[in-house]
Structure 1
Amino acid sequence: MTLVQADAATATSDVPTGRRRRGVPKWVWNLLSLILGIGVWWGISLGGYDVPDPPTVAKRFGELLGDGTLEKDIVASLTRVLVGFVLGTAAAVPVGFLMGWYAPVRGLFEPWVQFLRTIPPLAILPLAVVLLGIGETPKIWVIFAAAFLACVIATLQGVVNVDPTLINAARVLGAKDGTIFVRVVVPASTPFILVGMRVGLGSAWATLVAAELIAAQEGLGYRMQAAQLYYDLPTIFVGLISIGVLGLLMDRGLLYAERRLTSWQERRQ
């Protein structure tokens, strides 16, 4: 401990515990944000705009939940997103590691990955329908593509950005390439991979609505498209809120995993 750190620690310890400043808990700010958001939404609906108010949407939510429609739609959409996202991530991580660790592999595949990354996953829909039909496969395929492209780039950047000093130090200590990869490169790349997974998850949900246009009979995206034909705004809002809540919960799960797996990182509170 340096003299400056020691002085700072001593000064902190001299301050009585009861007089230390305590910030407002994060959940208070989250609750306040939720209340303000609902208030703004309610104000817009009362301002003459053609937007259903929260009670109307809540009533429609209860109706869809009561007859089982919402539950079936959530299960269908969640299954498609999870399958596409898991497959896309499972394929992206090893490909990203290979591209980052071996320069020839990167030279062969990176131009194609970057080329495909500029093509929106929704633009693949017509090709997916022609090649894969109108079943579940094309829906999962476009979600897979969205998750894969986001995660593979993040994994590649994680491997490329590993501090060369760490690798050189491991080699000086006699570590072989396999040991360096497992003990140095993988842990250092983990934060990038998890961020890529979060981005890929968002892309998967963003692609869902369009994917469910392909001859779907149930799903949140399908239900919203059907409601559009009848100008059923409350049902559309129920679908939007359901997608947002499910996506938020899954993102919080990945964020929790990120904090547990990268607890060695220093973070600004």
Structure 2
Amino acid sequence: MHPPLEPSQSTDLAREPKMLQPTVFWRIADAIPRRLSWLLMSISILLPLLLWWLGSTWIASSPDANSLFLPTPIRVWEAFLRLWSDGTLQNDIAYSLFRVLSGFLLAAIIAIPLGLLMGSFASVRSLLEPIIGIVRYMPAPAFIPLLILYFGLGEVPKILLIFIGTLFFNTLMVMDAVKFVPKDLIETTYTLGGRRLQVLLQVISPYTLPSIIDACRVNMAASWNLVIVAELVAASEGLGKRISIAQRFLRTDEIFAGLIVIGLIGLAIDLLFRLLLRLSCRWAN
């Protein structure tokens, strides 16, 4: 028989940390096997499609339900082919993409340098942060009447709406990214003879580039939301206008087709941002 443990020994054993059970699915801040990753991504797409198909099929077979409110995937696919065959969908995609990219790029050209300056210099931050903090809480769609009043019904108000809706959020997100640059890194650069412009261009800008790309990814979704709102109000072309026309004539299959196209375009743009991050910021991967 083993001798009984002293009270102090039993207390030490009780205080020993328990080992975590090995797991693959619930890993914290760690990668999972590639096969499991692809499986989970497939489930995230196929499961909603399956539920949609089951729900729409049940509604179509029920005498008390109206299939108009939830078209089957086949009907949506047929609506997509119908819009694609006559060139309507391609035209709408081109107009919406042009508006989104124009407004977003115009905002990024201003927001990124402005955010870097506000994050780097407390004087610039004190000068601009209060007014930006006020304007960013104003809903961008609320500017639509003024934009139409000032610029008419052409492309300018739609592009400016996206510009207004993304400029201030992009600026503040870039400014916050600069705050995480280590102060020791900046002081070391000064010690080695670096100047302010060199610190800004060769230290702060490269360090914050991954965060800048992530901020652009986030705000690109806001750009798509705004262009759809703008096209619903005042447009003759675009995916938002196509959805509005379909709603007017109760063509729910075309509404679903338009929404899916918007989602696929957004996914493609998001993947392009991830590719840009992987190619331009290899040290951050």
Q: TM-score, normalised by structure 1?
A: 0.87
Cα distance in 2 for partners of 1:38, 1:27 equals 17
By how many angstroms is 1:30 displaced? 2.3
By how many angstroms is 1:22 displaced? 5.0
By how many angstroms is 1:112 displaced? 1.3
User: Which region of structure 1 is more displaced relative to structure 2, 33-42 or 198-207?
Assistant: 33-42
Residue 125 of structure 1 is aligned with which of 144, 147, 153?
144
Q: Which amino acid aligns with 1:31?
A: S
Task: Report if the CA contact (8 A) 2:210-2:284 is conserved.
Answer: no
Matches within 5 A, 1:221-260: 221-260=240-279
Residue 54 of structure 2 is aligned with which of 22, 43, 47?
43
> Which residue number in structure 1 is paired with residue 43 of structure 2?
32
Q: Deviations over 1:5-35 (max 9, x none)?
A: xxxxxxxxxxxxxxxx954153343233221
> Which residue number in structure 2 is paired with residue 184 of structure 1?
203
> Which residue number in structure 2 is paired with residue 219 of structure 1?
238
- The answer to whether residue 102 in structure 2 is matched with residue 91 in structure 1 is no
Matches within 5 A, 1:49-68: 50-68=69-87
1:161 alignment partner, SS class: coil
Q: Deviations over 1:224-248 (max 9, x none)?
A: 0111111110110111011111111
> Which residue number in structure 2 is paired with residue 6 of structure 1?
none
Cα distance in 2 for partners of 1:168, 1:83 equals 39
Matches within 5 A, 1:89-238: 89-238=108-257
Q: Deviations over 1:108-163 (max 9, x none)?
A: 11111111111121111112111221111111111111221221111111122211
Q: Which amino acid aligns with 1:85?
A: F
Q: Which runs of 5+ in 1 are unaligned?
A: 1-20
Task: Report if the CA contact (8 A) 2:100-2:159 is conserved.
Answer: yes
Cα distance in 1 for partners of 2:33, 2:211 equals 32
Aligned sequence identity (%): 35
Task: Report if the CA contact (8 A) 1:150-1:197 is conserved.
Answer: no
Task: Report if the CA contact (8 A) 2:93-2:238 is conserved.
Answer: yes
By how many angstroms is 1:77 displaced? 0.6
By how many angstroms is 1:259 displaced? 2.1
2:35 alignment partner, SS class: coil
Q: TM-score, normalised by structure 2?
A: 0.82
Larger radius of gyration: 2
Cα distance in 2 for partners of 1:66, 1:23 equals 38
By how many angstroms is 1:44 displaced? 2.3
Cα distance in 2 for partners of 1:235, 1:200 equals 27
Residue 70 of structure 1 is aligned with which of 84, 89, 92?
89
How many residues were matched structurally?
Answer: 246
Q: Which runs of 5+ in 2 are unaligned?
A: 1-31, 60-64
Cα distance in 2 for partners of 1:226, 1:134 equals 18
Cα distance in 1 for partners of 2:46, 2:81 equals 20
2:283 alignment partner, SS class: coil
Cα distance in 2 for partners of 1:23, 1:242 equals 28
By how many angstroms is 1:177 displaced? 1.3
By how many angstroms is 1:51 displaced? 0.6
By how many angstroms is 1:214 displaced? 4.0
Task: Report if the CA contact (8 A) 1:89-1:151 is conserved.
Answer: yes
- Indicate the RMSD between aligned Cα atoms, in angstroms: 1.6
Cα gap change, 1:22 to 1:247, in 2 (>3 Å): closer
Q: Which amino acid aligns with 1:44?
A: G
Cα distance in 1 for partners of 2:134, 2:33 equals 49
Cα distance in 1 for partners of 2:186, 2:124 equals 20
> Which residue number in structure 1 is paired with residue 3 of structure 2?
none
Task: Report if the CA contact (8 A) 1:139-1:214 is conserved.
Answer: no
